[in-house]
Amino acid sequence: MIKLLVGLGNPGPEYEDTRHNAGWWWIDRVAQDLRANWHPERAYFGLTARTTVDGQPLWLLKPTTYMNRSGQSVAALARFFKIAPTEILVAHDELDLPPGDARLKRGGGHAGHNGLRDIHAQLGSADYWRLRLGIGHPGVKAEVANWVLRKPPAAERDAIERAIDRAARALPLLLAGDVARATAAIHTNQPPRPKPPRPAHPPTDGTDGR
């Protein structure tokens, strides 16, 4: 069972709306849904919130160490409360997915993401859950650093928010251990179906209109 939810991002108003903070956007939405209040915790190098779901304690964490030291915060809380890597879910921005896509996975590499890289190192394990929130790729590797630290245009932000909404709504399934249904709900990325056309007024000549 997941016992710790982590959203990755950078502290400070200059980073608040940048693509690199997609993990923070998700964890803030979850805290709102769970009515959990954030508190600064120096011992865990971040903002924490604690709640209970189905009688089980659940921690929420926003590291404030800056992205490349995220593992310092995650490992500090996980070790103190004896939370195993398999009981941790980390939400983060993902260059390899377009805005609007989200993917759930457990384990794997860090793919050059500095936050995940430090979590790997500090936990000594890659065997934790990841919620990958697509932010798209600039197309040129040299532009990645600038890309993640820029605000997405409104259409992209709306797409990311839709993915965040799906993932937040699927969280109860994941916490209940229903990984298959949670994964299906998160991975579905379909545009809203158009409303069907309204039927024409019935003919008045007594025919059926055919």
Please tell me the predicted confidence (pLDDT) of residue 1.
Answer: 87
Low-confidence ranges of the chain (pLDDT < 50): 191-210
Domain 4-187: assigned CATH number: 3.40.50.1470
Please tell me the predicted confidence (pLDDT) of residue 206.
Answer: 44
In whole angstroms, give the CA distance from residue 134 to residue 13: 22
Nearest to 74 by CA among 56, 57, 92: 92
Active site (annotated) includes residue 20: yes
Category of 152 on φ-ψ map: left (φ > 0), alpha (ψ -120 to 50) or beta: beta
Catalytic residue, candidates 20, 92, 113, 120: 20
pLDDT in tens, 150-180: 999 999 999 999 999 999 999 999 999 999 9
Please tell me the predicted confidence (pLDDT) of residue 190.
Answer: 55
> Domain spans of the chain?
4-187
What is the spatial order of strands in the sheet that 88-94 belongs to? Answer: 39-41, 46-53, 56-63, 4-7, 88-94, 129-134, 102-106
Query: Is the full-model pTM beyond 0.85?
Result: yes
